[in-house]
Structure 1
Amino acid sequence: MTGKEIIQKVKEKVCSSITQAASDSDTGKGKSKMSKQIKHGYHLVEGKSGHAMEDYVFAEFRQVDENELGLFAIFDGHVSREPDFWTATDAAIRRAYRITDSTILEKAKDLGKGGSTAVTAILINCRKLVVANVGDSRAVICKNGVAKQLSIDHEPERERDTIENKGGFVSKFPGDVPRVDGQLAVARAFGDKTIKDHLSSEPDVIVETIDDETEFMILASDGVWKVMSNEEAVKCIRQIKDAKSAAKRLNEEALARKSTDDISCIVVRFA
């Protein structure tokens, strides 16, 4: 089964896990009902790597009881309704990541040997932003024109000791970047059963408060970050008020800088 189909399984897990509410039509943009200022938009570009598109984007506002959740996620291929979500959000998200990884591994016979990185962001009642990630898809927020990275790039070299303590190794052969067991260029991911003993799926989770200084957030796959810094990405779209247009512009700039990977981008405007 292809990387795209693996991501579809992840999509089903994420979409059904928070609530069973029906999705709005897929227009590439949306807005909060709680705050008229908060809007999102996304854009995807298939890369030139000779395989089918392996990125998947999810972006939607949903009502859950008396609360509003903004759910944003990017999965780059290669939340169950937790009872303590409101009181222990960090633990609930970590558990959701573990469940997703376990589900993919259990179905490896049907899904194949591949896997996926992920960056997810949950906006709770327009104020509390909870970002989690595994791999090298990234979340960056802009406050007063200043870029702040909210995710952690899980690079094999940074986690070499952990990988080696599990019996694995980090090597640049074959290729020109460090890889876990010479295969995977990230130290954390969903799936990848053949090297799972040496690969983590534990996310880093960061909580950020949305205030009057917060302008927008970017979630993007590594097709953007391989060719642009956080500061360059923020500067590129800061003056574009329409979130979908901003996401498209960022992808166009990545293509102009010769990015050949699949490129996915979500922009959430707070002001």
Structure 2
Amino acid sequence: MFRWWLRHRPFMAYTNSTQQPVAEARHIFAFELIHFLGTFAEENSVGQIRGFAGILFSMDWLCCFSSSQLGGGRSSSTSGKGKSSEGMMRFGFSLVKGKASHPMEDYHVAKFVQIQGHELGLFAIYDGHLGDSVPAYLQKHLFANILKEEDFWVDPYRAISKAYDKTDQTILSHSSDLGRGGSTAVTAILINGINLWVANVGDSRAVLSSRGQAIQMTTDHEPNTERGSIENRGGFVSNMPGDVPRVNGQLAVSRAFGDKSLKSHLRSDPDIRNANVDSNTDVLVLASDGLWKVMANQEAVDIARRFKDPQKAAKQLIAEAVKRESKDDISCVVVRFRG
């Protein structure tokens, strides 16, 4: 049956005489394939479905979807590191799954890239809720959407703002495939090693260190602090159930990507902040709230600055959060600007 579908619905059927972009055609192909697999599952084993999905994932066809949607999954922990082209700046990252029974919902980006003669450092943390589809989508697409904005090089603030909005609209329009969940986001773009742009929605946070002093570069979007905006949109903030303020008693952040059922009461516009990196700037720490729930900004900076290797710094930050009994997924990126 699967071979019949591929014969009758080949990938080329999704391109047209106007030369539809291959990436867009792949997305349409993927959406139809998901629906097909749902029907196929009624007649075949999960193992067969995973096999077909695995082939397609290896070809990067299902770029919009997280592996867990088709029976895959993520490793419980991961870490790594890298550096700028001349090695002057380095980064390290580490992610650890929390105590909850659901799959890992934190995703990250950490890399240096060369674009139009510029070197960009791209760093992000995406903390999902009610599934990992939305953070997985953001990992694939948010930076690409920012960088393809025509005014990125002349007005990064405007480009970031527009891309956040467009990305959220795309997620909402594909909610039938990406699910009902959502995600926070904190993104940092370092342009040529000297110009830093940080944006966020939700409570994932970025903290910059200058001469060892912690500077919070993001705003925690919590229901209590944005109660007026929520109520003006017809929503409410309640501590029931539980003891944490939530939008409509459900979501513990007041801004997020996705969350279609709550979107009329939520915002997804980012807070954006710019800073120049100079000789006093030493480290940048991005992390999900699994870290910030148990650690103050200055504590995180103090720990990160003790390690010349930013990967070791990220691992130590997570180890300390786990020691302090953080039960959430914890993800952390540390950027070290000089030796």
TM-score by length of 1: 0.89
**Match status 1:178 vs 2:230:** no
**Partner of residue 215, structure 2:** 148
**Partner of residue 30, structure 1:** 82
**Partner of residue 125, structure 2:** 74
**Partner of residue 272, structure 2:** 205
Judge conservation of contact 1:73–1:219 (CA < 8 Å) in 2: yes
Looking at structure 2, the residues matched to 193 and 114 of structure 1 have their Cα atoms a distance apart, in angstroms, of: 8
Looking at structure 2, the residues matched to 261 and 162 of structure 1 have their Cα atoms a distance apart, in angstroms, of: 27
Dislocated runs of 4+, deviation >6 Å: none
The superposition leaves residues 5-42 of structure 1 with CA deviations (integer Å, 9 ceiling, x where unpaired) of xxx7499xxxxxxxxxxxxxx97111111x42210010
Q: For residues 88-237 of structure 1, what are the structure 2 equivalents within 5 Å?
A: 88-237=155-304
**Match status 1:42 vs 2:93:** yes
Question: Per residue, is there more strand in 1 or in 2?
Answer: 1
Judge conservation of contact 2:304–2:334 (CA < 8 Å) in 1: no
The superposition leaves residues 157-213 of structure 1 with CA deviations (integer Å, 9 ceiling, x where unpaired) of 110011100100001011101101110000000000011000000000000100000
Q: What is the identity, as a one-letter code, of the residue corresponding to 1:185?
A: A
Counting matched residue pairs gives 250
Q: What is the identity, as a one-letter code, of the residue corresponding to 2:296?
A: S
**Partner of residue 109, structure 2:** 58
Q: Which structure has the larger Rg over C-alpha atoms?
A: 2
Looking at structure 1, the residues matched to 108 and 80 of structure 2 have their Cα atoms a distance apart, in angstroms, of: 10
Looking at structure 1, the residues matched to 165 and 108 of structure 2 have their Cα atoms a distance apart, in angstroms, of: 20
Which of the numbers 257, 261, 264 marks the counterpart of 2:328?
261
SS in 1 for 2:285: strand
SS in 2 for 1:245: helix
**Partner of residue 16, structure 1:** none
Q: What is the identity, as a one-letter code, of the residue corresponding to 1:165?
A: N
Looking at structure 2, the residues matched to 55 and 185 of structure 1 have their Cα atoms a distance apart, in angstroms, of: 16
Judge conservation of contact 2:304–2:310 (CA < 8 Å) in 1: no
Shift of 1:99: 1.4
The superposition leaves residues 210-256 of structure 1 with CA deviations (integer Å, 9 ceiling, x where unpaired) of 00000100000000000000011111221101011100000000000
Shift of 1:100: 1.3
Judge conservation of contact 2:79–2:311 (CA < 8 Å) in 1: no
Q: What is the identity, as a one-letter code, of the residue corresponding to 1:176?
A: D
SS in 1 for 2:240: coil
The superposition leaves residues 117-156 of structure 1 with CA deviations (integer Å, 9 ceiling, x where unpaired) of 0000000000000000000000001111110100000011
Looking at structure 2, the residues matched to 119 and 32 of structure 1 have their Cα atoms a distance apart, in angstroms, of: 21
Looking at structure 1, the residues matched to 237 and 266 of structure 2 have their Cα atoms a distance apart, in angstroms, of: 11
Judge conservation of contact 1:55–1:264 (CA < 8 Å) in 2: yes
Choose 235-244 or 39-48, whichever is displaced more: 235-244
Choose 253-262 or 77-86, whichever is displaced more: 77-86
Looking at structure 1, the residues matched to 176 and 103 of structure 2 have their Cα atoms a distance apart, in angstroms, of: 20
* Cα distance change, pair 10–191 in 1 and its aligned pair in 2 (3 A): farther
* Cα distance change, pair 147–204 in 1 and its aligned pair in 2 (3 A): same
Q: What is the identity, as a one-letter code, of the residue corresponding to 1:31?
A: K
Looking at structure 2, the residues matched to 137 and 83 of structure 1 have their Cα atoms a distance apart, in angstroms, of: 27
